[in-house]
Each structure stands twice: as structure tokens, then as C-alpha cells.
Chains A and B, each alone.
Chain A
Amino acid sequence: MSAGVPIRLTVNGTAYDVTVEPRRNLADVLRGACGLTGTKLGCEHGVCGSCTVLVDGEGVRSCLMLAVQAAGRDIRTVEGLAADGRLHPFQEAMSAEHGLQCGFCTAGFVMLVVGALDADPSVARDPERLDALLSSNLCRCTGYEGIRRAVLRAYGG
């Protein structure tokens, strides 16, 4: 039961040919087989959001998706945001606005926000929708205000 299955994962535009047991979640395979440890695992039941990555452009919980389900899809993780040595504008804004302290939740928040706001920046101008989005993930350090300010800074609230 549960022998390894060869799959190809496309992460940040790079193909990774890996052999995984079906029971491995996407987060573990990104961290282990692909060596992309920016994505964090906290609760493993969909609540904390530290494992949020983009699959075909949409933010999902990578602890609640099997790696075999992500084969052939376009996966983006926090490692793929910087381009030409420059951080993504939202990463810059998180730094400028003190949107993180311990940093455990940060990759998840960054992917949550980049996924939603790159597709629809108008969320930044609607406090109710922004609240609903940011309350998807948990941060035990910042009290969320720095993260909210970073959204407004990067996406022009």
C-alpha cells in the first residue's frame, strides 16, 4: 500500500521530478523533496495558514492538498516571488511596515495576500474584504496591523 508514485511538480517555473507516497501533503513535499523550506507547517488542519501557497494562481492550504494532486499544476511559493534580486513589492512593504516579528506566519501571509491582491488589488480599498482575507491566517506576534499597513502600502489602499 502507498508505494511511491513518480510525479512532476512545477514550482516557481522549475520542474521537480520526485517520487512521493500519495499520503504526503504538498507542504511536506515542497519542504522535503524539493528543498523549498520557505513554506511552513503549523497546525496541519487548515486553520493557521502558514502553509499557504498558490496553485494555479489561487491561495490554498498546502497541508490540505496531497502532493499527487498538485502534479501538472502551476505552484508558486514564497521562494518564487523575488525577481532579478528584488523582493516582491509586498515583501518590501512587510519589511517596511514591520509586518512580521518571529516570521513563522510570514510566508503564508505573503502568499495569501499576493495571490488575492495581484489578481484583484481593489480588495485593499475595501476594509471589509481585506479583513475577511487577512483573517484567513493566524499571526501570534504582530496583531495584524503591520500586515494590514503593508497591504495598503504595496497595493495603494
Chain B
Amino acid sequence: MKPAPFDYVAPAELSEAVSALAERPETSRVLAGGQSLLLLMNFRLERPTLLVDVNGVGALDTITVTGDALRVGALARHRAFETPAVAPGALGRLLSRVSPFIAHPPVRVRGTMAGSLAWAHPQSEWCATAAALDAVIELTGPSGSRAVTASDYFLGAFRTVRQPDEIVTSVELPLLPESDAVGVAFVEQHRTHLSFAQAAAVVALVLRDGAIAGARIGMTGAAVRRAREAEDWLAGREPEPAVLARAGELAAAAADPYQELHAGVEYKRHATGVVVRRALTEALRDAQDGRGRA
């Protein structure tokens, strides 16, 4: 099918985009990569009356290190994160392991990280990453900008605290400390290269004196995209296989998967526990390799 008619503006300045969106926010949509929105419009599942295309807003097309964070502008495409050079140290390694799992090359050329966070698909890899790292999401609307941490941002499947008149202007991901041994990993279960994840886990581990000083675990899910019980369990413990397995169980118990055609809730819950355990094991190995790297 083809999209229903809509008005279209493509401003070059953020302020113009914000004012255009403010006119009728409820029925307008921001157009970023279009790799979710345009297909929904093709099927008329979305019928906006106005598209505010932000692709011409050059100021949003940035990825920079500012202080102790990587600041990702709203036009940074999935593809930019395929190389570990995108960010210093463990953060660059982590992002470059996540990005190749998002769709396939032609979609990654256009789709954006900010668009993924705005869309908040329950199976989104970037949403799990943002949750794990407690990214700071910058929302800009008619009354200015506000910063929301990922822990406050996600409300459920396709639901966030973003108001219809707000644009996600940037995402700040904290750089991971290099003073201690830091290990990162991403593990995903999906049916084919083309499929969304059935379960995925993002892990960053900090090791000190042979024990886990801190763990961050993000996972696919609706309202619950971070495995806090598992993180608390791991803190201070030795990274033994049984300890990691228990963390997987805690993550699975906390997860809130939904029923899909090829994967029921119990299957996805089980798979979440498995990918969390595997990601923890891989992150441990990554931290050990890291000692060699340093």
C-alpha cells in the first residue's frame, strides 16, 4: 500500500523543526531514518497529517565525546556504530558489537539510534543498550530541552515519557572506565539475520581484585529493560559460573516479554535468562582480554 496524504516540511534548523511540530503535535510525526515510520505509513498503520523531516538539520548529525560521555546526535545512523573507533575503549567495543544485529546494511545506512529510542520497540537493541548504560536522553520541545535518564524514559512497549511536541535531540552514553578491568558483551537470539531479537542482552562488567565491582545489564523488554535484581546479586561476588547462571535466572524472572507468533512468553523469558548468562560469560572473557590490551 501507499501512505495517506500528509503535509511535509524539511527545515534546516532545529528551532524551525520544533515550531513546526508544535503546531499540531498529536497528529504530526518526526521523520528520522524512516526505517520504522515509513513502513508503518505504507501500511497506513500510521497516518500523520504532517511529517517534520529532520534529516536536513545538520546540527543533529554529530557524534562527539564530551567529558565522560559519548554524545550521539539524532541523525547518527546505526551504521556509524559498526566500528569500535566510534567511541573510546569499552564503549566503542560494545556499540560495535550491538550495531550489526540491527536489521541489515541498507536499513542501518538510514535508521538512527535516536529514532530507535523514540520508537521504543520492545525488541530494540539500542533501547536495551541505553537501559544498561542508563543513557541520558535529551528531549527538545517548545519550552526548551530536558534530560531524562533511560531508567525514567521507558514506560512500556512503544511508550516513553517523550511528549508529542518533543524531539529526541541527542543521546548521551557514559564512557566506561578504563582504570579497572571492564568487560562488555552483547548476545542476541533471533530466527534469521533479518528478524528482530527474540531475546537480547547487553552487559558491562567492572572487575576489581578478582570480584565483580559492578554490573550493568540491559535486555529486550517493554517496561523492564534493565535487570536490576541480577545487577545487585552480582555486585561484590566472584564471577563463578554458578553466580552468572543465578544472575541469568534473576534477569529472566524480572523480564516482561510479550507473546509473538514464533515465540511465547515463557520461551522468551527462558531465552532472556540464557542470553544474559552468556553475555555475562563473554563480558568476563572480554575483561580478561582487556588486561592484555591495556
> Is the C-beta of B211 less than 8 angstroms from some C-beta in chain A?
no
Contact B5 A21 (CB under 8 A): yes
Query: Which of A63, A65, A133, A135 contacts B194 (CB under 8 A)?
Result: A135
- Interchain CB contact (< 8 A) of A2 among B6, B39, B41, B55: B6
Residue B100 at the chain A interface, CB threshold 8 Å: yes
Kindly state whether residue B16 has any CB partner on chain A within 8 Å: no
Q: Which residues of chain B come closer than 8 Å to A5, judged between CB atoms?
A: 8
Whether the Cβ atoms of A22 and B8 lie closer than 8 Å is yes
Question: Are the C-beta atoms of A136 and B6 separated by less than 8 Å?
Answer: no
B149 within 8 A of A: no
Q: Is A52 an interface residue (CB 8 A)?
A: yes
Task: Tell me the dominant secondary structure on chain B's binding face.
Answer: loop
Q: How many A-B residue pairs have CB under 8 A?
A: 96
A68 to B106, CA, bound (A): 19
A157 within 8 A of B: no
Interface size class of B (residues with CB under 8 A): 20 to 34
Instruction: List which A70-116 residues lie within 8 A (CB) of chain B.
Output: 112, 116
A1 & B42 in contact (Cβ 8 Å cutoff): no
What are 30 A-B contacts with C-beta separation under 8 Å?
A1-B5, A1-B49, A2-B5, A2-B8, A22-B7, A23-B2, A25-B2, A25-B38, A45-B39, A45-B42, A45-B43, A59-B105, A59-B109, A60-B109, A61-B35, A64-B110, A65-B34, A66-B8, A68-B8, A68-B10, A69-B10, A116-B105, A131-B193, A132-B100, A132-B105, A132-B193, A133-B104, A135-B192, A136-B106, A136-B194
- Known contacts A23-B3, A58-B106, A112-B106; can you find 15 more A-B pairs with CB under 8 A? A1-B6, A1-B49, A2-B5, A23-B4, A24-B2, A25-B42, A44-B1, A44-B39, A46-B103, A46-B106, A46-B107, A49-B104, A61-B110, A69-B10, A132-B193
Mark A residues whose CB is within 8 Å of B. Answer: 1-2, 5, 21-25, 28, 44-47, 49, 52, 58-61, 63-66, 68-69, 112, 116, 131-133, 135-136
